[in-house]
Amino acid sequence: MSIDFRTEPASYRHWKLKFDGEVAELILDVDETGGLFDGYELKLNSYDLGVDIELYDATQRLRFEHPEVKVVVLRSGKDKVFCAGANIRMLAGAAHAHKVNFCKFTNETRNGMEDASGFSDQKYICAVTGACAGGGYELALATDYIILTDDGASSVALPEVPLLAVLPGTGGLTRVTDKRKVRRDHADVFCTIEEGIKGRRALDWRLVDEIVPNSRFAEAVRTRAADFAAQSTRPSDAEGVALTPLERHLDDDRMRYSSLEVELDRAARVATLVIKGPQSPAPATPEAAAAEGAGFWPLRLAREIDDAILHLRFNELDLGLIAFKSEGDAEAVLAYDRLLTEQADDWFIREVSLFWKRLMKRVDVTSRSLVALIEPGSCFAGFLAEFVFASDRGYMLSGQFEGDNRPAAEIHLSAANFGRLPMSNDLSRLATRFLGEPQSLEAAAAVRGEALDAERAEELGLVTFAYDDIDWEDEVRIFLEERASFSPDAMVGMEANLRFAGPETMETKIFGRLTAWQNWIFQRPNAVGEEGALRHYGTGKKGRFDFDRV
């Protein structure tokens, strides 16, 4: 079954959106029979990938379609349960690759909620009534403020270790310590008990921000939402931009969008993403850009690449390498790039830029080898040049192909390459590339606005190799064949380590440390073996463990 990430509110089965001026409610009301696959029911507001696909879509629409919304209240639509977390039977029956990709996608979605709070000034409040366990509490942790009903029954919990022999895989451990600053010994207790923590202790240990009796709970949520809304800088009178349905044509070996074409070479295990530059001039003003709606080229392209990357992650597991190419007029790209830079204070332009930031982070943490192939007629300029610096290697053709009248390949740098689209380590991709060479970063900054040919780009360290047309085909072929011959397990580990040099942040811990451990634990017999805890969940039997420490 091919998993489709395209959806819209009219098609939601698990979430409801309600709007009241500056405050929106995002209500989790899971359809038990609406699982993405057969063989399990989504009881107790538990979730699978289908639930999270809708959540991702909802968070995107809240940012683009509802600029007036300053606060989002996340709550349950069911009595006596907030969310039981990821569905255990789904996890027990899922292939290893699906479990890992599912956790990565849920992490990215929750990081996106925090990005909305930090950079779009759209705050999230979580109103917890009933049991809030596992991934449910991890969802709450992604919000700015957690209010818990103090009714003697409602609780928060991360029971994965004692119950399932796995980890809270959606940032739970990291957010408990790094975001909520829970004391280490308290966190140790919290993460090793099944029943969770209630009331005053949850508040004292900083697991929640406020506890309120049932009789005052709704009023307290309204008050906190009003407080947050009063501090927000989001516009109250701006008109939203509808995220209209994304058009995609999928053939056996090709995916076609309006500004992107994906070529699938399954024999070589390579997916080539060909990015098409703009076909029309950049709008003169932010208002004109917003009037184009979802057709505004940078927004349209970001949505298309986002969809393509997610499709490749979940539906094309054998394709181990993504090659980025581009076609178009670099000056036309730079005109859009200038609009995004010069009008960064406009809410719509800001949201488009932030979407590009999140998209490039998704590229960074995608477990595929990445290569940029910079050929004549390419348009790797400004924010599109980030694909070159996100790649594990960059190959650039010097001069032109024989008989080809397209202009020689060039790279154009702009302000977008020096901090506007940071990686998870909070550095730009160029700063990360030149971590031990500050003089190289300064040299690159000095040539912003210049057209850099292959020799100059190689000299500046912006590409790995520059070849003429005599050597180009053989060198690229050798690289692709060599990469395809390596163990994909070793490649995933090597690339993830090499891509994130520099300072560690909450995000790098989640994607580097936590995801790596969960990946390993998901394969261990203590969790997923025939006698593993994940397999025995719900049977009344306890898992039988191999107690050797590894």
Looking at the fold, whether 263 and 182 belong to one and the same domain comes out as no
Residues 290 and 186 in one domain: no
CB 382 within 8 A of CB 337: yes
User: Cα–Cα distance between 476 and 158 in angstroms, integer?
Assistant: 47
Residue 27: beta bridge partners? Answer: 16, 75
Dump pLDDT digits (tens) for 379-435. Answer: 999 999 999 999 999 999 999 998 889 999 999 999 999 999 999 999 999 999 999
**What is the structure's pLDDT at 500?**
86
Q: Which letter, b or e, does each residue of 475-497 get, where b requires 16 or more Cβ atoms within 10 Å of its Cβ?
A: ebeebbeebbeeebeebbeebbe
**135, 149, 317, 319: which is closest to 218 by C-alpha?**
149
Give pLDDT, residue 514. Answer: 85
Does 263 lie in the same domain as 180? Answer: no
Report percent pLDDT > 70 for the chain: 100
Alpha carbon of residue 471 to chain centroid:
37
Average pLDDT over residues 334-359: 98
- Single out the residue in 216, 234, 259 at which a domain terminates: 216
Query: Contact 40/51 with Cβ under 8 angstroms?
Result: no
Contact status, residue 310 vs residue 246, Cβ threshold 8 Å = no
Look at residues 46, 141, 149, 49 and name the one whose alpha carbon lies nearest to residue 103.
49
Q: Are residues 141 and 259 in the same domain?
A: no
3-class DSSP string for 440-478: HHHHHHHCCCCEECHHHHHHCCCCCEEECHHHHHHHHHH
Residue 33 resides in a domain: yes
Q: What is the largest CA-CA distance in the chain?
A: 79
pLDDT at 504 > cutoff 90: yes
- Listed in order, strand segments (DSSP E) in 186-226 are 197-198, 210-212
Does the reported pTM lie above 0.75?
Answer: yes
- pLDDT for 13 beyond 90: yes
Which pLDDT score, from 0 to 100, does residue 441 have? 98
**Position 504 in a domain:** no
pLDDT at 550 over 90: no
Task: Average the pLDDT over 526-542 and give the result.
Answer: 90
**Cβ distance 60 to 108 under 8 Å?**
no
Tell me whether residue 99 is in a domain. Answer: yes
Region at 95 (left for phi over 0; alpha for psi -120 to 50; beta for the rest): beta
What was the pLDDT predicted at 540? 86
Closest CA to 260 of 221, 308, 293: 308
Same domain, 259 and 212: no
Q: What is the DSSP letter of 211?
A: E
- C-beta of residue 534 within 8 angstroms of C-beta of residue 527: yes
From 498, 520, 541, give the residue that closes a domain. 498
**Tokens encoding 333:** 């790209």
Cα–Cα nearest to 90, from 36, 160, 161: 36
Span 79-102, mean pLDDT?
94
Q: What angle do CA 206, 116, 380 make, to 5 degrees?
A: 135
Question: Which are the contacts of 508, defined by CB distance < 8 A and separation ≥ 6?
Answer: 424, 425, 500
* pLDDT tens by residue, 162-210: 999 999 988 999 999 999 999 999 999 999 999 999 999 999 999 999 9
Residue 260 resides in a domain: yes
205 and 128 in a common domain: yes
Give 377's contacts (C-beta < 8 A, 6+ positions apart): 327, 328, 406, 407, 409
Q: How much is the average pLDDT of 204-232?
A: 97
Instruction: Say what the pLDDT of residue 453 is.
Output: 98
User: What would the mean pLDDT of 18-32 be, rounded to a whole number?
Assistant: 98
CA-CA distances (angstroms) from residue 34 to 13, 54, 100, 351, 374? 7, 12, 21, 32, 44
Q: What is the mean pLDDT of residues 523-527?
A: 93
528 lies in a domain?
no
Average pLDDT over residues 44-48: 97
Q: What is the mean pLDDT of residues 495-510?
A: 93
DSSP state for residue 47 in the 8-state scheme? B
Domain membership flag for residue 284:
yes
DSSP string spanning 126-168? EEE-SEEETHHHHHHHTSSEEEEE-SSS-EEE--HHHHHSS--
Question: What does the angle CA 34 – CA 35 – CA 41 come to, to the nearest 5 degrees?
Answer: 90
Mark whether 81 and 177 lie in a shared domain: yes
Best CA proximity match to 194, nearest among 161, 167, 172: 161
Q: How far apart are CA 383 and CA 401, in angstroms?
A: 26
How far is the C-alpha of 247 from the C-alpha of 256, rounded, in Å? 9
Q: How many Cβ atoms sit within 10 Å of the Cβ of residue 248? A: 17
Decide if 71 contacts 229 (C-beta within 8 A): yes
Domain that holds residue 131: 9-216
Query: Tokens in use for 403?
Result: 């008989």
- Give yes or no: residues 16 and 158 share one domain: yes
Q: Which two tokens stand for residue 431?
A: 């700063």
Structure tokens at 439: 């003089």
Mean pLDDT, the chain, whole residue set: 96
Asked if the model's pLDDT at residue 336 lies above 90, the reply is: yes
Which among 130, 37, 38, 149 is positioned nearest to 84, based on CA atoms? Answer: 130
Question: Which 3 state secondary structure label does DSSP give 509?
Answer: helix
Q: For residues 370 and 428, state if they share a domain.
A: yes
403 close to 430: Cβ distance less than 8 angstroms: no
User: Is 350 part of any domain?
Assistant: yes
CB 351 within 8 A of CB 497: no
pLDDT on residue 1 = 78
What is the mean pLDDT of the segment spanning 366-389? 98
Predicted local confidence at residue 151, as pLDDT = 95
pLDDT at site 84: 97
Position 516 scores a pLDDT of 87
- Residue 351 inside a domain? The answer is yes
Q: Who wins on pLDDT, 534 or 147?
A: 147
Structure confidence at residue 345 (pLDDT): 96
Same domain, 209 and 272: no
Q: Are residues 349 and 441 in the same domain?
A: yes
Give the whole-angstrom CA distance, residue 287 versus residue 484.
47
Give 50-89 as a DSSP string: HHHHHHHHHHHHHHHT-TT--EEEEEESSTTEEE--B-HH
CATH code for the domain in which residue 141 is found:
3.90.226.10
| 71-76 and 123-128 beta bridge pairing | parallel
The sign of the dihedral angle between the CA atoms of 418, 423, 427, 431 is negative
- Per-residue confidence (pLDDT) for residue 285, from 0 to 100: 97
Mind listing the pLDDT tens digit for each residue in 430-478? 999 999 999 999 999 999 999 999 999 999 999 999 999 999 999 999 9
Cα separation of 327 and 278, whole Å?
A: 9
pLDDT surpasses 90 at 515: no
Q: In the listed set 216, 232, 261, which residue is the last one of a domain according to the structure?
A: 216
State the pLDDT at residue 513: 86
Tally of domains within the chain: 2
Residue 48 and residue 158 in one domain: yes
Beta carbons of 165 and 264 less than 8 angstroms apart: no
